[in-house]
């Protein structure tokens, strides 16, 4: 899958995507990252990218012209069709379902803005989707673009090993993760739920499912609200609630 990211800080974007499993996916050519600096598509001596907004007021706006030329160069570089995504607090909330949807595409183009934003005429004519990663304002769209690329790349075939993929399968069902424990020199096994030391894999799977349901109920009841629980899950969650009341 090919990613084209438009940013005034292209090195920052590519650096962020060099680490871990995602970095390895690019090294192994499971995905390709191309960064584009709209400043390279200016023609004046000052390589000017920003202008004062019509109507006045504080701050600067990214001009449409360099972005139009940049986008044309991106399309000329590869004919694979791709939606243009603009990272902005005004966008639709990004989530795992959107990541899965994007992971099915051969290519996406991401626009990371700076300053107070981008000339609305460019957005109206050339942006397909506006995407938000949360209700906060950053200094630019680079980290949101990196966030989207990371979430999508790890879903591509061959990026995660079988063990990680299996874990993902359970987490992908719209529930929060269960608690994890491992060997500790100083803590021993104190505070580790007995079932995890029992070696009974059926009971362990059941405990983890119950924790996932329970933690989701405690911390993100909104996620459960839009979910139809199986009879077994409903029983597990009721058990969790009962234990919660006992403690
Ligand atoms: C800056 C600003 C300053 C004064 C008053 C209002 C203001 N709004 C902004 C603003 O939204 N700046 C954005 C910075 C312009 C587009 C790129 N920037 C950005 C993207 N900040 N935060 C995001 C973002 C993107 C996706 N999800 C969450 C946040």
Mean pLDDT of the chain: 96
Smallest CA separation from ligand 1 atom 24, residue: 88
**Is 23 touching ligand 1 by the criterion CB < 6 Å?**
no
Sign of CA dihedral 72, 75, 81, 87: negative
Q: What percent of the chain has a predicted confidence (pLDDT) above 90?
A: 94
Ligand 1: centre distance to CA 214 (Å): 35
Enter the pTM of the model: 0.94
> What's the pLDDT score for residue 164?
77
**Is 133 touching ligand 1 by the criterion CB < 6 Å?**
yes
Whether 233 is catalytic is no
**Is 38 touching ligand 1 by the criterion CB < 6 Å?**
no
Ligand 1: centre distance to CA 141 (Å): 7
- 169: pLDDT confidence band, cut at 50, 70 and 90? low
| Dihedral, CA of residue 19, residue 101, residue 2 and residue 159, to nearest 10 | 40
- 33: pLDDT confidence band, cut at 50, 70 and 90? very high
Catalytic residue among 65, 89, 119, 172: 89
Q: Which atom of ligand 1 is nearest to the CA of 58?
A: 4
Q: What percent of the chain has a predicted confidence (pLDDT) above 70?
A: 98
Smallest CA separation from ligand 1 atom 8, residue: 116
Residue 4 DSSP SS3: strand
Place of tokens 């004046």: 44
**Is 148 touching ligand 1 by the criterion CB < 6 Å?**
no
56-86 residue pLDDT tens = 999 999 999 999 999 999 999 999 999 999 9
| Backbone Cα Rg of the chain | 23
Average pLDDT over residues 110-117: 98
Q: Does 166 score more than 90 pLDDT?
A: no
Whether 93 is catalytic is no
- 43: pLDDT confidence band, cut at 50, 70 and 90? very high
> What's the pLDDT score for residue 167?
64
Whether 104 is catalytic is no
Average pLDDT over residues 181-191: 98
Cα gap 234→222, rounded to integer Å: 16
Q: Which helix (DSSP H) or strand (DSSP E) does residue 217 occupy? A: helix 201-219
**Is 137 touching ligand 1 by the criterion CB < 6 Å?**
yes
């Amino acid at each position: 899958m090919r990613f084209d990211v438009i940013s005034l800080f292209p090195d920052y974007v590519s650096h962020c995507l060099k680490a871990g499993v995602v970095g390895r996916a690019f090294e192994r050519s499971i995905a390709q990252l191309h960064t584009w600096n709209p400043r390279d598509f200016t023609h004046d001596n000052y390589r000017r990218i920003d202008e004062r907004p019509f109507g006045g007021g504080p701050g600067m706006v990214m001009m449409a012209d360099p972005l139009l030329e940049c986008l044309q160069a991106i399309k000329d570089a590869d004919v694979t069709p791709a939606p243009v995504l603009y990272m902005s607090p005004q966008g639709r909330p990004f989530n795992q379902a959107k990541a899965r949807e994007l992971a099915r595409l051969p290519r996406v183009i991401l626009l990371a803005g700076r300053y107070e934003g981008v000339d609305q005429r460019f957005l109206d004519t050339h942006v397909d989707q506006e995407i938000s990663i949360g209700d906060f304002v950053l200094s630019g769209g680079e980290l949101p673009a990196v966030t989207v690329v990371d979430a999508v790349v790890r879903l591509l075939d061959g990026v995660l090993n079988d063990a990680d993929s299996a874990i993902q399968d359970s987490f992908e069902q719209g529930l929060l993760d269960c608690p994890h424990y491992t060997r500790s020199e100083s803590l021993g096994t104190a505070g580790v739920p007995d079932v995890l030391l029992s070696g009974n894999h059926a009971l362990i799977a059941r405990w983890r499912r119950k924790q996932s349901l329970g933690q989701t109920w405690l911390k993100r009841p909104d996620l459960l609200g839009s979910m139809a629980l199986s009879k077994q899950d409903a029983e597990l969650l009721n058990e969790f609630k009962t234990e919660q009341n006992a403690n």
